[in-house]
Structure 1
Amino acid sequence: MLTELAIRNFAIIDQLTITFQDGLTVLSGETGAGKSIIIDSIQLLAGGRSSVDFVRHGEEKAEIEGLFLIDSDNHPIHEVGNQYGVETRDNEIVLNRVITASGKSICRVNGKLVTLAILKEFGRTLIDIHSQHETQSLMIPENHIELLDLYNRDQIEQAKEEYLTLFQKLQSLRNRYKELNENEKEMAQRLDLLEFQLNELEKANLVPNEDIELENERKQLLNYERIFRGITEAYNALYGEEKGLELLHIAQKALEENSSFDPFIAKKSEEITNHFYMIEDLTYQLSNYMDGLEFDPNRLNEIEGRLAEIDRLKKKYGTTVSEMIEYMGKIEEEIELINNKESHLQKIMNEIEEVKQDAFLEAKQLHDLRKKAAKALIEEVHVELKDLYLEKSTFSIEFSPETPSEHVELHKNGFDQIRFLISTNLGEPLKEISKVASGGELSRIMLVLKKLFAKHQGVTSVIFDEVDTGVSGRVAQAIAEKIFQISKESQVLCITHLPQVAAMADTHLLIEKDEINNRTLTHVSVLTETEQINELSRMMTGTKLTNTAKEHAKELLDLAESFKKGQLINN
């Protein structure tokens, strides 16, 4: 859930920190007090589009920061975090968005800089905002298939993974076929290029690790004098009269002559004898290496020329000789592929047909599971619509194609194209949800779907921005009850002008604005029961508070409390 929101220099908000609770939080206040501005700030945290107009006049930047608490180790936010390298193990997510007066947007998740697209990925798993002015995921037909899959997640997810494995393999084969089946002119040009490259590399007669060995030999020749002098000095220090080896021999004899008298001397005598022979062997090696040292300027020139040739090839074919030899192998394979294009095309086509058939069978399994889920969802929606006095409405889920065959076009979700349809009046045809004309009907339909999908979508916070516009009376009460039911599955933040909805609040926040030093400021306060009664009275009658309105407000709160207790007993 969203537990804390900090806003600085955003629109008419100077500095504001709001602590949110679980359950249903209602935000109310006069028009223009800043209620929707608070929702706008949350929307920006979720990756919404920014504007320099959001920056408070006279300030350099606006900043919004939100702390979210995750109550499940299986929440999809963890998968998103793993994908983008953001730590989420403490089940705390901090989203941060800065908008500068110049229009620059800076996004962070748990302190890590991210792109706006990545911030949006995190936001969509945490927040679901619905307003009367904005198209939301439930209203977009392209999203309906994902929502239906969530409704029967346990069964569909595994089948979907198995299908996706085959679909990705199918796409890879199709891409290979397309690349190989390019027009003759391009293929001929490609073949000429590959043959030229292969010929150039073959003429070079490259040997594995040749560049490394040549660099070492070059370094040796360039430092010949220092190497020779160093070996000579070491050899002379060890070999000869009164030199290291002779002195070591004297020490060895001295210990050997007395080894029978003392175990310690015997042990050390053996050790020094071993060291003597090792140093003696080292001296012979130094002598032999010194005898073989020879400075050959011609060889140095050869190495320089060969390394220059290798460096020239590296600029075209790889950073090392090994990489260039590997590239030669790939060229040979591609040349063979082009020269025998027809046989390879036929082989790939055969693979495509086999994989497509397997993918179709998996897609058919997905289709059957979705059909079963759709039937159950339709039944639940009809029950919920009756509670909202839309008992004459008809909800349906359209599958396209209706009768799939093996020749149907496959996509990432199988072959199904799905749309949620509804008719709100008897005798009227089914239409897409987004095309339902009545705002009040649209609000109720949306609430039904929100309630059914809240627990499946996994979002921590559902936000309603005046979605109850256009309703009143018993419908308003029914909407209030539905919003409360949604808050049992996810935290709900709700801006409303309906007293019925406000009365259902677990926490009621009042948004007000003041004018200080000729500037408008917004502040938020948590209402006590008495203050809530006054606010509900104002929502009923306007600015004038009457005793009758207060009595009605108190009665409304009592009815809401009774409903809540009934819900608790039923659950």
Structure 2
Amino acid sequence: MLEEIAIENLGVIETARVPLADGLTVITGETGAGKTMVLTGLGLLMGGKADAGAVRPGASRAAVEGRVRVTGREDVAARVDEAGGEVDDDGTVVVLRTVAAGGRSRAHLGGRGVPQGVLADIADELVTVHGQADQLRLRTPAKQRDALDTFAGARHRATIEEYRAAWAERAGLLAEIDDLTTRAAERAREAELLRLGLAEIERVDPQPGEDAELTALVARLGNAEGLRVAAQEAHDTVAGDDVETDGTAVAAVERARRALEAVASDDPALGEHATRLAEAGYLLADVAGELASYVDGLQADPAGLETAHSRLAELGALTRTYGETIDDVLRWASDAGLRLLDLDDGGERLESMRRRTAELDDVLAAAGERVSEGRRAAADALAAAVTDELAGLAMAGARLVVRVEPAAEPGPSGLDQVTFLLEPHPGAPARPLGKGASGGELSRVMLAVEVALATARVEDEPGDGALLPTFVFDEVDAGVGGRAAVEVGRRLAALARRTQVVVVTHLAQVAAFGDAHLVVTKSQGAAGTEVDDTGADGADGTDVEDGVPAVTVTGVREVTGDARVRELARMLSGQEESATARQHAVELLESSIVGR
């Protein structure tokens, strides 16, 4: 439930705080005062598209903040927590949306910045908007089908979801089957190339790291003499047999060790150095021994060198085709083996998918028939509910007809084509909705459909209203007047007894039924003039006098008592101080109380 909305610098509104009642809140005001901006602000809070053009002229940004009660809505509270936001101790969440004049938009939920889409996800659970744009959409067959499904209830919609899941799985399988069958020759060629490559690798039988080992062996065998000379020279330098000169490294280290040991008793520090020299001597002796073994073992091996070159050539043929190194080649072979298994398994997998597709055909046929049955049953109930509403909206004799007929071919939403038709009076032919009706009649038909849908959802979700959305009606009473307008108000008030309802209206007959009445007001602008109600002077809600824009300051105030009577009188006659109009307003308020 929405508790309040605070707006700053949005369109013609400089600053406004909009408190919303638990039941029916009506919003009224003169044309051009900014009523639409209140709903624009609500749309921003609910994740709607941001428009930099809606920022008040001269302001750097627009901001809309709302407080939403989520008590009893664990699903919504969990979504807030998942987004990193917090639900306050009183069960409310603060939602903030800002729009910079440069166009950038930011959204915050429970004190945490979130993507716009998060607000839109939560809005789907919290708010349902019924406006003139929704009426236009309801003329399309797809939207009429969706409306019927909504009216049919939660169990029916669960059946539709079962059907859609089966349809999506079947569509995916058909795409795979098509791919397997149309690419059969291509898959066969790919499998043959993989087999040839694997056969070649199996014949050569490369070992991990073998190419690197052979490269090192070739380098050693190809420069055997140079290696022998270098190793021999190193050995002689470290520990040669030249006794006369005694210039080897081992001898030099030994002399240094003995010299230090001779005086170690006088200074222990020199004794430590003597120990380290002894360790160095052992290491040099080990190196000398290994060098001697290396020289003894190093021999020219032309045959071995030729064999190594030949093996490297074989491995090189593989690395030129399947990877830069032998390890790459072995990885290719592993992947190729798995891919070959997949390709060879195509026939069995194809048969398995065809069996599953046949099973899904049966599932779709059964689920589709249940969906059709639900729609046919709901069609009669929806037609009756809307027809009853029309009788109360000064269209007695008019009848809504909801046809459910087999579609040309099954689709992701079922087997049916749904059409709404209007029979304006007994004996008249039923025509598709939107044809053959005046604007006022069409508005009343659309409103009757919307109220029937909203009422059906209330009845479909029993409880104290905590799990129901807030219903917002944006001037859906356009083209309605007189007794029909009173009935509109009565029906909205009845709906508001189960859940929160917000209505923007021009009709006093509707406004009189509100539990709370908010008036959007405007004051004079900078140039000392009010904005023309028609908005003709300035597309952004400004007058222009001598080239100076007159920015309107708009606010929202709640009216009660005599102030409310004056507002209703203004709506009735344009003369809020007219005694006759005021008397009529009082009568409306009194009759609305009785009519509830």
Deviations 1:85-130 (A, max 9, x none): 5779876454433322222333444455554455433333322333
> Equivalences for 1:56-455 in 2 at 5 Å?
56-73=56-73, 77=76, 92-111=92-111, 113-132=113-132, 135=135, 138-183=138-183, 186-187=186-187, 191=191, 327-328=335-336, 330-337=338-345, 340=347, 344-401=349-406, 409-435=409-435, 437-455=437-455
Structure 2 counterpart of 1:181, which letter?
A: T
Tell me the distance in 2 between the aligned counterparts of 1:414 and 1:106: 39
Contact kept, 8 Å, 1:400 with 1:418, in 2: the verdict is yes
Tell me the distance in 1 between the aligned counterparts of 2:371 and 2:48: 33
Structure 1 counterpart of 2:62, which letter?
A: A
How far did 1:563 drift?
1.1
Deviations 1:496-554 (A, max 9, x none): 22111111111011111123655421111111211001111111221351222211111
Structure 2 spans left out of the alignment, 5+ residues:
210-289, 295-314, 459-466, 528-550
Q: State the secondary structure of the residue aligned to 1:38.
A: helix
Contact kept, 8 Å, 2:3 with 2:68, in 1: the verdict is yes
Query: In terms of mean alpha carbon deviation, does 53-62 or 427-436 score higher?
Result: 427-436
Shift of the 430–528 alpha-carbon distance from structure 1 to 2, 3 Å rule, reads: same
Contact kept, 8 Å, 1:9 with 1:59, in 2: the verdict is yes
Please identify the structure whose Cα radius of gyration is greater: 2
Q: TM-score of the superposition, structure 2-length normalised?
A: 0.66
Structure 1 counterpart of 2:168, which letter?
A: Q
Matched, 1:548 2:590: no
Contact kept, 8 Å, 2:80 with 2:110, in 1: the verdict is no
Contact kept, 8 Å, 2:85 with 2:112, in 1: the verdict is no
Shift of the 419–43 alpha-carbon distance from structure 1 to 2, 3 Å rule, reads: farther
2:562 matched to which residue of 1? Answer: 530
Matched, 1:3 2:8: no
Q: State the secondary structure of the residue aligned to 1:401.
A: strand
Tell me the distance in 2 between the aligned counterparts of 1:109 and 1:192: 58
1:496 matched to which residue of 2? Answer: 505
Shift of the 328–468 alpha-carbon distance from structure 1 to 2, 3 Å rule, reads: same
How far did 1:432 drift?
3.5
Tell me the distance in 1 between the aligned counterparts of 2:412 and 2:39: 34
Tell me the distance in 1 between the aligned counterparts of 2:192 and 2:105: 48
Contact kept, 8 Å, 1:206 with 1:325, in 2: the verdict is no
Tell me the distance in 2 between the aligned counterparts of 1:66 and 1:185: 62
> Equivalences for 1:474-513 in 2 at 5 Å?
474-513=483-522
Shift of the 148–467 alpha-carbon distance from structure 1 to 2, 3 Å rule, reads: closer
Shift of the 168–133 alpha-carbon distance from structure 1 to 2, 3 Å rule, reads: closer
Tell me the distance in 2 between the aligned counterparts of 1:334 and 1:315: 26
Q: State the secondary structure of the residue aligned to 2:412.
A: coil
Contact kept, 8 Å, 2:566 with 2:576, in 1: the verdict is no
Structure 2 counterpart of 1:399, which letter?
A: V
Tell me the distance in 1 between the aligned counterparts of 2:448 and 2:9: 37
Contact kept, 8 Å, 1:141 with 1:418, in 2: the verdict is yes
Structure 1 counterpart of 2:423, which letter?
A: S
Structure 2 counterpart of 1:23, which letter?
A: G
Q: State the secondary structure of the residue aligned to 2:27.
A: strand
Tell me the distance in 2 between the aligned counterparts of 1:153 and 1:79: 25
Shift of the 544–378 alpha-carbon distance from structure 1 to 2, 3 Å rule, reads: closer
Deviations 1:50-107 (A, max 9, x none): 32211122223222232222354477x579779x857798764544333222223334
Tell me the distance in 1 between the aligned counterparts of 2:518 and 2:53: 26
Tell me the distance in 2 between the aligned counterparts of 1:204 and 1:491: 79
Structure 1 counterpart of 2:13, which letter?
A: I
Tell me the distance in 2 between the aligned counterparts of 1:315 and 1:118: 48
Equivalenced residue count is 456
How far did 1:329 drift?
5.7
Tell me the distance in 2 between the aligned counterparts of 1:415 and 1:64: 44
Tell me the distance in 1 between the aligned counterparts of 2:333 and 2:7: 59
Q: TM-score of the superposition, structure 1-length normalised?
A: 0.69
How far did 1:360 drift?
0.9
Tell me the distance in 2 between the aligned counterparts of 1:544 and 1:315: 90
Structure 1 spans left out of the alignment, 5+ residues:
212-293, 298-305, 403-407, 565-571
Shift of the 199–531 alpha-carbon distance from structure 1 to 2, 3 Å rule, reads: farther
1:514 to 486, 498, 523: 523
Tell me the distance in 2 between the aligned counterparts of 1:107 and 1:204: 63
> Equivalences for 1:453-464 in 2 at 5 Å?
453-455=453-455, 456=457, 460-464=469-473
How far did 1:378 drift?
2.2
Structure 1 counterpart of 2:512, which letter?
A: A
Structure 2 counterpart of 1:182, which letter?
A: T
Contact kept, 8 Å, 1:140 with 1:434, in 2: the verdict is no
Structure 1 counterpart of 2:130, which letter?
A: H
Query: In terms of mean alpha carbon deviation, does 477-486 or 120-129 score higher?
Result: 120-129
Structure 2 counterpart of 1:349, which letter?
A: R
How far did 1:178 drift?
2.0
Shift of the 358–31 alpha-carbon distance from structure 1 to 2, 3 Å rule, reads: closer
1:301 matched to which residue of 2? Answer: none
